[in-house]
């Protein structure tokens, strides 16, 4: 890069904040999924725990541990969300946005896994005890019917929580002009750690309740407590599998994910449409949070002149922010010259 390019680069450093970003409009239901899940899980956890104590059901004990873990999860996610908005010092130049991702990772690796391991170990203990003592196989059908009723009520509450998650997911897709997709495809693409965690929680809860209900139902029909213990075992395994999936998702966000292909295409179009930009040489993006993006671009301008390049950078920033007003951007631009030997135009 020659002397004029160095000068232009220095100018971009001092002018990247010249154009103030548009405020991001918060979703009408932002955070409602976490709050709804917490409210539902508190009631569900109390009901399940009472039923587990009253009936001695292994499946109900596993489900009560599951719901207690879910309550802890929501609290951790809410703390992470609040902490992410705190003002930062020089040690965190891009803010504390990733506290949400860290909270989601803690939920996945600690609370989910510990809950799943405890449920699985308790169920295995009961299976071994019932196998060694045939007299324990006789089921108290009246008590198990109470447990089955609690499972049905819990399923309704967890279904409401999943409905709230779907409602928030649909609103976020609409707000960001994202093509509509199914809830679980959205889960794979979303950059919202808390919503991804809640969707996973609600889904695992419904799957776990299905296994618990099946185990209790078979125990009643076959008059064999062993099936209740098997239902509890399946609930624990579901939790462990879910913790691994959520750990992969939240870990990927914590490391740093690029924008999705649709957003990338819109950014490229905005840059290429900027007056004065003749070629987009390179572009890198990282989601600092769901709505905050770090954007680094290298461009070739029609004139390699300091004043012209500064104006072009300002126009580029405005163009990108106007094209995607639902995001807040931290933008760094480097004017450069295209060279065949070590420069490659951006590929869509």
In this structure, are 87 and 234 located in the same domain? yes
Alpha carbon of 284 to those of 12, 36, 240, 275, 295: distances in Å? 17, 36, 35, 21, 6
Q: 173 lies in a domain?
A: yes
Q: 164 lies in a domain?
A: yes
Q: Three-state DSSP class for 345?
A: coil
In this structure, are 15 and 40 located in the same domain? no
Q: What is the pTM of this model?
A: 0.76
> Smallest Cα–Cα separation from 284: which of 308, 269, 264?
264
pLDDT tens track of the chain, all 348 residues?
A: 444 344 344 444 434 444 444 444 444 444 566 776 777 778 788 888 888 888 788 778 877 877 787 787 778 777 777 776 667 666 777 777 778 788 888 877 766 677 788 888 888 988 888 888 877 778 778 888 888 888 898 888 888 888 888 888 898 888 888 888 888 889 988 898 888 888 888 898 899 889 999 999 999 998 888 898 899 899 889 988 888 888 898 889 888 899 999 999 999 999 999 999 999 999 999 998 888 999 999 999 887 777 778 889 999 999 999 999 999 999 999 988 877 765 555 554
CATH of the domain at 322: 3.30.70.1350
| Domain limit, last residue, from 191, 225, 255 | 255
> Smallest Cα–Cα separation from 62: which of 200, 298, 177, 228?
228
CATH of the domain at 140: 1.20.1510
Location of structure tokens 């600690």:
110
Q: 322 lies in a domain?
A: yes
| Domain limit, last residue, from 221, 255, 289 | 255
- In the chain, DSSP finds a helix count (H) and a strand count (E) of 11, 3
Which residue range forms the structural domain that includes residue 73? 32-255
Q: For residues 141 and 223, is the Cβ–Cβ distance under 8 A?
A: yes
For the chain, the domain total comes to: 2
| CA 191/CA 197 separation, integer angstroms | 11
């Amino acid at each position: 890069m020659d002397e004029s390019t160095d000068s232009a680069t220095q100018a971009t450093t001092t002018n990247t904040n010249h154009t103030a970003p548009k405020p991001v409009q918060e979703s009408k239901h932002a955070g409602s999924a976490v709050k709804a899940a917490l409210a539902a899980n508190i009631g569900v956890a109390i009901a399940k725990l009472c039923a587990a104590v009253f009936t001695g059901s292994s499946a109900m004990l596993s489900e009560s541990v599951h719901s207690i873990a879910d309550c802890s999860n929501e609290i951790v996610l809410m703390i992470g969300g609040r902490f992410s908005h705190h003002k930062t010092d020089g040690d965190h130049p891009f803010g504390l946005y990733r506290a949400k991702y860290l909270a989601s990772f803690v939920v996945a690796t600690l609370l989910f896994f510990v809950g799943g391991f405890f449920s699985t170990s308790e169920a295995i203990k009961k299976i071994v005890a019932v196998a060694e003592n045939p007299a324990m196989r006789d089921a108290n059908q009246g008590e198990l019917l109470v447990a089955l009723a609690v499972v049905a009520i819990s399923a309704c509450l967890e279904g409401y929580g999943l409905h709230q998650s779907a409602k928030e997911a649909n609103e976020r897709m609409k707000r960001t002009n994202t093509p509509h997709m199914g809830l679980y495809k959205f889960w794979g693409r979303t950059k919202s750690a808390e919503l991804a965690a809640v969707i996973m929680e609600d889904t695992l809860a419904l799957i776990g309740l299905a296994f618990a209900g099946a185990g209790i139902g078979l125990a009643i029909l076959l008059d064999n407590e062993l099936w209740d213990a098997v239902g509890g075992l399946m609930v624990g395994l579901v939790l462990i599998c879910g913790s691994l999936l959520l750990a992969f998702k939240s870990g990927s966000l914590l490391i740093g994910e690029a924008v999705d292909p649709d957003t990338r295409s819109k950014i490229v179009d905005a840059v290429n449409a900027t007056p004065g930009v003749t070629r987009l040489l390179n572009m890198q993006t990282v989601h600092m949070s769901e709505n905050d993006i770090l954007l680094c671009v290298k461009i070739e301008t029609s004139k390699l002149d300091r004043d012209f390049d500064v104006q072009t950078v300002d126009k580029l920033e405005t163009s990108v922010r106007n094209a995607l007003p639902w995001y807040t951007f931290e933008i760094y631009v480097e004017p450069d010259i295209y060279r065949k030997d070590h420069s490659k135009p951006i590929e869509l």
